[in-house]
Amino acid sequence: MITDGLKTWIELSRKNLRRNLGVFRRLCGEATPIWIVKANAYGHGAALIAREIDKTIKRGRGEWFGVDSIDEGIALRKEGIRAPIIVLGWVPYPRLSELVKNNLRYLVSSERTVKELAKLKNKKGLRAHLKIDTGATRQGVLPAGALKLAKSIKSAGMTLEGVATHFANIEDVDNPTYADLQLERFTATVALLRRNGFSVPIVHAACTAAIMTRLETIFTAARVGIGLYGLNPSALIKNAFRKRHRGLELSPVLSWRSRVALVKSAAAGTPVGYGLTERVKKDSTIAVIPVGYADGYDRSLSSRGAVLVRGRRARVIGRICMNMFMIDVTGIRGVKENDVVTLIGEDRGKKLSADDLSGLSDTIAYEIVARLPAGIKRLVV
């Protein structure tokens, strides 16, 4: 097997990815899906994910990819991705010319950026998207300054292809007041731009959570992020989605696995790991897993995390080390060196999800998967 020589690896389910693509294509309807593959496709592997999506795109349908950095966009171009790519994050001024060179769209948030873009000799080839800050207090110009910035983009000789915003509290389905306010501000700003001669054919505001629960936030395009990978933005969104769209389900794409490096006995009272933070309460069997916080298994999972071994759940015991951690396999019959261990995924009908780990480490599933090192081998299965 290809994994025989690996101490840890990530498996990506082609079937589940395509299932999720189908769900969001259905939800987006005629609107253009922008598949977000930033942060190495949320830890899944940007090149692998983009190639798999690219295989399913019907030419002429106009699906896009969204990245955070110019380096991510260039990397996709080198992988042969020809679909439109928009850089959503900030680009250092000395590298702005690379946007045009690599046929990348750019999300513009300030007059200063436009002034820097105006200095480029090849700026006419750049298609800009104007970011409106409707209430996230993050990227973007306030609605009152949108028309001025749009005129600056035009005066600089660039094409204003799109306009966008980002919701700050779209996941609070029980209290949509702030999301409603942002939507109202955005709609009014788009209308203002159009009254002043800007056609802005690409209008995007909806993220995964918005697509799943508020179809009215989908304009002519929608940014599909965490949901593409089969993970729900939150429990609230998951429940609301089930009520609104019965029969549609997201399926996790990623599984993370390792192997048992060592099995050893520990007598009652024996401390396990750094700091002597935990001692076994009875004669126990301990297994060592060759993965640690440097490999993306967070130190906050010390004495709290769990893995699957032989279809059984085994608790992390003691502190997570830099490149290994220990689990208590007492009572799990037959555990031996080289056995496969599931850190995220399914084993013999038992499941351990990124949501499970995020709950144990007081964070969100986004962080659990996005922080998986790019150096871990990823396999499409």
List the catalytic residues.
Answer: 38, 274
Q: What span, in angstroms and rounded, lies between the C-alpha atoms of 37 and 75?
A: 11
The first and second tokens of residue 180, run together, are 């409603």
- Whether residue 8 contacts residue 290, with contact meaning beta carbons closer than 8 Å, is answered with yes
Question: Which residues neighbour 316 within 8 Å (Cβ) at sequence distance 6 or greater?
Answer: 301, 302, 303, 304, 305, 306, 307, 325, 326, 327
User: DSSP characters for 276-343?
Assistant: G--B-SSSEEEEEES--GGGT--GGGTTT-EEEETTEEEEEES---SS-EEEE-TT-TT--TT-EEEE
Give the DSSP H or E segment for 266.
strand 262-266
Q: DSSP code of 58?
A: P
Q: Which residues pair with 108 in a beta bridge?
A: 130
Positive or negative, the Cα torsion across 228, 230, 236, 242? Answer: positive
The first and second tokens of residue 159, run together, are 């094409």
Under DSSP, is residue 86 helix (H, G, I), strand (E, B) or coil?
strand
Q: What span, in angstroms and rounded, lies between the C-alpha atoms of 337 and 144?
A: 64
